[in-house]
Structure 1
Amino acid sequence: MRLRRQLLAPGGPPGPADSAGPAQATPYCDETDRRLILGHLDLVTPFEELITPLYEVMFRRHPYLRSMFPESMAFQRAHLAKMFQYLTDNLDRPEDVVATFTRLGRDHRKLGVRRAHYATFEDALREALRLRAGRRWSVELERAWLRMLRSAVDAMVAGADAALTEPPYWHATVVRHDLRRPDLAVLRVRTHEPYPYRAGQYGALESPLLPHAWRQYSMACAPRADGIVEFHVRRTGPDGVSEALVDRTRAGDTLRLGPATGTMTLGDELSRDLLLVAGGSGLAPVKALLDELTSRRAGGPRVQLLLAARDRGDLYDGEWLADFERRRPWLTVLPVLGDAPPPGGRSPLTDTLVRHGAWADRLAYVSGPAGMVEATVRALRELGVPAARIHHDPLGSSPVSSVSAASW
């Protein structure tokens, strides 16, 4: 039993550079670890070049694990590189790291990840680090890396354990598939069991056309009694999940839906007026928030929506939104067209924020492409909106911003 517990523990059995074995509760990196890791990042970066030997080692030692991953590993490799980047960028923010990887652990249940898999991953990473770093690698540096990794793994295991009472994923059937543009589809799916989520959150979708490949999409409606959930999917490239959902999915097809996550939700009490900023298919979570606000109206806040698009052809849900605005006097919608700022100038969206209204007392929700969200958040901060009152989904540097198969 003692050996079995060691094998199933997140850190696994002791290795040659860690003969004392992992502690039961892995401490996060201290200042010495941070200096070691950050002072020797050049040995293992760019992280994309660390990922290749890592997976080669893992699949060579445990060939059965390959079947848990999608056929194409390109997205997977990029995602794991983001995870390492996030860890090393946030060594001085342990609370944020723990919260992020707790959410990841809950989400990864849908991938079939178990405690023993983390030990397998650790062994492969240990060898990949040595191969990548070469002769300058040291026992002290390896231990610092393993403490950093194990703190993240501990949080993931805790997140998975806390979610044992909910399904790892939900089966759903597509009941309607509408092409709003050649590259954008609105999918309405009905889950086979009640799917708990809140307006403003997102969940990962998997199509049987691409097993083990999951991509995250925001729900575009508040929870409904009929169990139907709406998603807006924009094709981002050939042969990926978005292409399968836009071009090759029809009513009657089945999908799998991962657990809902995200903090871009409305509070129980709304004492401030709202500013909503959406770009592209970032309209989806904003549409869900408007749906919830409609159901909660009782002298609630006024809402201003800035809808950013390259041109009017990019406003794929314009007719619905115009009708929605006409019937709700508390809502004002302002389209913002154009995306390229003049040399040395502000973008059309930033310029609109500066010229239209004082936002410092508003509660802001921002959704859309990562670059647009980053620029909008920065502009709102400069205009006096406190960071605590600006809500948005994780950006591209966060490992929860794009979860594919088994990100460990």
Structure 2
Amino acid sequence: MLKLSIQDITLNQAHEDKQSAIAFLAQQLTDNGLVEANYLAGMQAREAQNSTFLGNGIAIPHGTTDTRDLVKQTGVAIAHFPNGVDWGDGNTVYLAIGIAAKSDEHLGILKQLTKVLGEDGVEQALQNAQSAEQIIALLNGETQLAIEFDASHIQLDFPASDMIQMAAVSAGLLKNSGSVDTAFVADVVAKNPTHLGEGVWLVSSNKGVNQTGMAFVTTINQCHFENQDVKALIAFAGCNSAHRAQLSTITALIADQAIGSLLSKSALELIALFNPATAEQASTPASNGDANSAIYKIRNAHGLHARPGAMLVACAKKFESAITVRNLDSDSQAVNAKSLMKVIGLGVKHGHQLEFTANGDDAQAALEAIGQAIESGLGEG
């Protein structure tokens, strides 16, 4: 199977438009002895048929079936665009994978990319990537994109009597979830936290961290540390940049003099604030009571595999409304239509009927756009 490697990647490229980017990739494929010089025409023709944009900042330009005889050897050329390239239809590409394939080897790459196409934070991670190793790890699904923070990382109204107990409880929550080991616990307990204001404190460590995580603990008792009230402690375990969004949220609360608002929030409210992706996964799809719904038949010959699935998800993500979808032919449960992994998991085949339900101000527009996308073949004609 065709696989991606660091040797295939050219970093820090800048191109004004996708035609220039595709020409660069075609030249790379030619220089590497993978294709004949006029393979570019096939790549341009394929792009003219349907956009090769997959979603999450990734495109896979390749030739048409008519130009497969120009392929000397199956392979790829990958270009990284930290400033992005306009790929049309409002889509920006940060990584383009130019494919030279004698048959359908590119389907293997689509399969490899299935997970990363459904993850939040991929586009920013690709944009900020500093090395080929980082990009390959990201494409292989080996990079942590979202912080570990759910109900198991929250302890409200703990009867702590001092800061040491608060630190021990927060570190224990992270240890119990597997994010850290005992080295982290020992380091956090020994550290002096930083006061953020209104009795909210913060402590962090990168020792003994397996994956970046966050814990939140409040106390029901009256505690003090360095002559300041202790009402809550936020603990970060960091081994990458997955906690950047949470730090930005905390910074914004401090700037708005609203850090104390954390003290009155429930566990679900804290999750929604600091980790909306987890909150979305935990939520139950809305009922059809006041929602807009529509049923569409999938016309794609091979059903919803990675590419048309990604196009469907990209369409749904353009709207603010909450959108769910279920496969009427398999009696599936409704899933989030903005999650590629969940859409692929429906096992949609040619001719299957999908019921979409949308809640929100732009619900009707969303359903109409999804219907049009399905009717047009979801990028497959």
Normalising by structure 1, what TM-score?
A: 0.24
Structure with more relative contact order (C-alpha pairs < 8 Å, separation 6 or more) = 1
Identify the structure with the greater helix proportion: 1
Q: Which has the larger radius of gyration?
A: 2
Normalising by structure 2, what TM-score?
A: 0.25
